[in-house]
Amino acid sequence: MSSAISSRFLVFVWALLVVATLGTNLLVYFHALTSQSLAAVVMLVAAIKIRAVFRHYMELKYAPPSWQLIFDAWLLVVTLCLVVGFWITPV
Amino acid sequence: MTDTLASPSPLEHSHAGVVPHQVQGVLTFILADIVVFGMIFVDFLVQRYDQLAVFNESSVTLNNWTGIINTLILLTSGLFVALAVQAAKRGEARQARSWILASFVIGLGFGITKMFEYSDKLSQGITMYTNDFYMFYYTMTGAHFLHFLGGMIALAALWFRLADKKIDNKEMINIESVALYWHMVDLLWIFIFPLLYLMGV
């Protein structure tokens, strides 16, 4: 099997991760949303970034489905806990 | 130098459901580790619920820019390790080694920034006993920093190992194992950074 992920694609993923990082920081800096919505957005963006690391950097997309499922389940549970945790905390 | 023994990564081999034992071991370790961190994140939110003012006031004392720079450092270092894996798959040992060195060098930036950050906080008398937020701050970033140190040692060891070596299947598994571990250091920081540095703003 040939090299399935091109170096150029990895750089593209890195650029998206950087843009997402700077973008969420700008949202926070300018208080663009209410604090609870902001927390939800920031955590969801973080979760998307982690899934990109799972799939493209760690190459879990080539792992057997059981491994992919376990890692995705961890991400889903932790993200839900974080979003709900921030959402229900009184401001 | 002739280093052209192309070898797909262990996970690319695994479409038939067979992952080498060493890689399975590393994935299991990573999973156990991130589950523990996940529980610490949840505990952080539970304590934050009860002490919102303390957590928000403490969070704003952290320097956002330090956190952003550290995130960018780890993302870039992670990219270099991923590029090292791609070079190794093509059998280009020297190029893989160069990417590993680049990853190590830029990773040093994280260590240096963290040292400045810790010394700044300690010089102000802020320790993990100051309040519950700082207990979490030192616990999360301290545990993460130990993982970071482990990753740096693994990267350095891999760099020395690959000197004048061809990349066979065994070496490919070693490279993939170190890369997986290094990406774990990266992904944990992606959650730690907003939790500690951003949410009090």
Q: Is B68 on the interface with A (CB under 8 A)?
A: yes
Cβ-based contacts of B199 with chain A (< 8 Å): 39, 42, 86
pLDDT band at B7 (very low <50, low <70, confident <90, very high): low
What was the pLDDT predicted at A4?
Answer: 57
Helix residue ranges, H only, B9-59: 10-13, 21-50, 52-59
Q: How far apart are CA B172 and CA B177, in angstroms?
A: 8
Q: If you ran DSSP here, which 8-state letter would residue B26 be given?
A: H
Residue B4's beta-bridge partner residues? Answer: B92
**B59-B115-A52-B174 Cα dihedral, nearest 10 degrees:** -150
> A42 touching B, CB under 8 A?
yes
Collapsing DSSP to helix, strand or coil, B177 comes out as helix
**ipTM score assigned to the predicted complex:** 0.91
Q: Show residues of chain A in contact with B52, CB under 8 Å.
A: 89-91
Mean pLDDT confidence for A7-12: 94
pTM: 0.91
The encoded tokens of residue A80 equal: 């839900």
Encoded tokens for B47? 């304590």
What band does B5 get if pLDDT is binned at 50, 70 and 90?
Answer: very low
Work out the average pLDDT over B158-180.
Answer: 91
- Which residues of B fall within a CB distance of 8 Å from A3? 6, 8, 86, 89-90
Q: Please choose, from the candidates A56, A46, A53, A1, the residue with its C-alpha nearest in 3D space to the C-alpha of residue A21.
A: A46
| Section B70-99 average pLDDT | 95
Shortest Cα–Cα distance, B56 to chain A (Å) = 10
